[in-house]
Amino acid sequence: MVERLSSVEAMVGGGEVPAGPSELADSLRLRCGVVLTNRIAKAAMTECLADPRTNDPNPRHERLYRRWAAGGVGLMVTGNVMVDRRYLERTTNVVIDERTDRAAVERWAQAAQSTGTPTLVQVNHPGRQCNVFVSRSPVAPSAVRVKMLGAFATPRALSDAEVDALATRYAQVAKEVVGAGFAGVQVHAAHGYLASQFLSPRANLRTDRWGGSLANRARFLLEVVRRTRAAVGPGAVVAVKLNSADFLRGGFEPDDATQVARWLQAEGVDLLEVSGGTYESPGFMGLGGRPDAAHSSEAYFLDFAVRLRREVRTPLMLTGGLRNTTTMRRIVGDGSVDLVGLARPLALEPDLPRRILQGTTEASAARLLGRGWTQVDAMIEAGWYGAQMARIAEGLDPAPDLARWRAIQNYVGAEATNAVKRMTSRGPHGAPST
């Protein structure tokens, strides 16, 4: 897939930058046959736009994704779409199941791909990272609690049969969204969500076929990928988002990630996105501890991507901290990665990809907003950029001068309010009814 390799030195240390943005303007054909028109991707961000009583996509999703599509990206990945409405990452996630309004999903797909931009649905389950506003009885590989300001309850360990059924649920959701018109799916196996929890020896203490050795800890993810491919067929995109590391002592490490990437390549995944961190150590937001001393302050997971490029030929997408056009052009131009993923910059500047491709901008205005308290900072980041997405979804422009205190209000206050709405529409099994 990639013909040119590079050294770490070539990427992070000087060298001439090719003239013009042509490296980022190149098309990319994935293994399944889907063609991306350029090398800039809109990476996943939780939109928090669904009604908490139905969790269906709605016109706000359509406006937001139509705006991003018009901004010039070559690929889009949606925010978390949940496989089980009892367990959500946020109260306002989209859920796909038998209650979902399929026509609404189809309209979302049409809006996102209105300019021909292939769009992937990020399929996910939060596992133990299901906050107390959603459930006080979350499920996970093992009964290991997330330590984050009391926001999460101790989970119940899933049974063998439940794990097997969940692997099938991911595939069923994938079949539904591809049938609704999306180009494919991205299986979320990063950031401490369920598939990432199975991979981590810190979160996964099981001694059955789903735990212990790395091969057993990776079994859930590999089963999800196999069943997903069988469900969507050879012509849809099956991508995976994988942690380079958890950045927690005793967690998932780069050596583990490299081996899992090899197994995913053998399964024929079309695209592998490199990320890192969990809620307890949110490296994916540029926050929390990271053990690699050579870690770039701009491209958060560049060092690992370089290492992985030498090991697998699967197209790689690098997301996290990318703000400078020169860096983006360099790492794509020398073959170190195939796509650059932009998340928070596109919440603030939805037309940034077009300006990059036109050569009229050199950097994004997106920045870190925190004050030095890692987990609070993560809430500020999520809330502030979430508020920008909400403005776009309402047909407004982003507001760069939005106050930080509004971010915390948006993150915590909205969850509390939405939890009440969910409680007023509980179905017989504890999930919102439609």
Distance between CA atoms of residues 204 and 211, nearest Å: 6
Among the residue ranges 84-93, 341-350, 390-399, 413-422, the one predicted with the least confidence is 413-422
- 13-56 pLDDT, tens digit each: 333 333 345 799 999 999 999 999 999 999 999 999 999 999 99
Cα–Cα distance measured from residue 242 to residue 320, given in angstroms and rounded to the nearest whole number: 13
* Listed range (107-121, 150-164, 409-423) with the worst mean pLDDT: 409-423
Least confident window among 81-90, 120-129, 152-161, 423-432: 423-432
Phi-psi region of 272 (alpha: psi -120 to 50; beta: other; left: phi over 0): beta
Distance CA 373, CA 150 (A): 15
Q: How confident is the model at residue 367 (pLDDT cuts 50, 70, 90)?
A: low
| Domain boundaries, given as residue ranges, for the chain | 8-367
Question: Quick one: pLDDT band at residue 101, thresholds 50, 70, 90?
Answer: very high
pLDDT given at position 157? 98
Distance between CA atoms of 367 and 377, rounded to whole angstroms? Answer: 12
pLDDT of residue 310: 95
384 phi and psi angles, rounded to 5 deg: -65, -50
pLDDT at 131 over 50: yes
pLDDT value of position 246: 84
User: 249: pLDDT confidence band, cut at 50, 70 and 90?
Assistant: confident
Residue 429 confidence class, pLDDT cut points 50, 70, 90: very low
The whole-angstrom separation of Cα 245 and Cα 78 is: 23
The whole-number pLDDT of residue 383 equals 83
Specify the pLDDT at position 312: 97
| Confidence at residue 404, expressed as pLDDT on a 0 to 100 scale | 72
Render pLDDT for 294-323 as a digit per residue (tens, 0 to 9): 344 578 899 999 999 999 999 999 998 899
What pLDDT, on the 0 to 100 scale, is given for residue 375? 58
**pLDDT given for residue 29 in this prediction:** 98
Token pair of 8 as six digits: 């770490």
User: pLDDT at residue 356 above 70?
Assistant: yes
How high is the mean pLDDT of the chain? 87
State in Å, rounded, how far the first CA of the chain is from the last one. 45
pTM: 0.88
Residue 122 has pLDDT above 80, yes or no: yes
Confidence of residue 415 (pLDDT cuts 50, 70, 90): low
For the stretch 123-154, what's the b/e string if a residue is b when 16 or more beta carbons lie within 10 angstroms of its beta carbon? bbbbbbbbbebbbeebbbbbebebebeebbbe
C-alpha span between 361 and 120 (Å, rounded): 27
Q: Which residue has the higher pLDDT, 349 or 246?
A: 349
Q: Is the pLDDT of residue 285 over 50?
A: no
| CATH number of the structural domain 8-367 | 3.20.20.70
Say how far apart CA 356 and CA 354 lie, in whole Å: 5
What mean pLDDT is predicted for residues 311-339? 95
Does the structure show a pLDDT above 80 at 128?
A: yes
Residues 166-198 have pLDDT tens digits of 999 999 999 999 999 999 999 999 999 999 999
Would you say 48 and 333 are in contact if contact means Cβ atoms under 8 Å apart?
no
Look at residue 410 in the predicted model and tell me its pLDDT. 63
Q: What pLDDT is recorded for position 21?
A: 54
Query: In whole angstroms, what is the distance from residue 268 CA to residue 57 CA?
Result: 30
Whether 379 has a pLDDT exceeding 90, the answer reads no
**pLDDT band per the 50, 70, 90 thresholds, residue 416:** low
Three-state SS string across the chain, please? CCCCCCCHHHHHCCCCCCCCCHHHHCCEECCCCCEECCCEEECCCCCCCCCCCCCCCCHHHHHHHHHHHHCCCCEEEEEEEECCCCCCCCCCCEECCCCCCHHHHHHHHHHHCCCCCCEEEEEECCCCCCCCCCCCCCEECCCCCCCCCCCCCCCEECCHHHHHHHHHHHHHHHHHHHHCCCCEEEEEECCCCHHHHHHCCCCCCCCCCCCCCHHHHCHHHHHHHHHHHHHHCCCCEEEEEEECCCCCCCCCCHHHHHHHHHHHHHCCCCEEEEECCCCCCCHHHCCCCCCCCCCCCCCCCHHHHHHHHCCCCCCEEEECCCCEHHHHHHHHHCCCCCEEEECHHHHHCCCHHHHHHHCCCCECCCCCCCCCCHHHHHHHHHHHHHHHHHHHHCCCCCCCCCCHHHHHHHHHHHHHHHHHHHHCCECCCCCECC
Q: Give me the pLDDT at residue 12, please.
A: 30
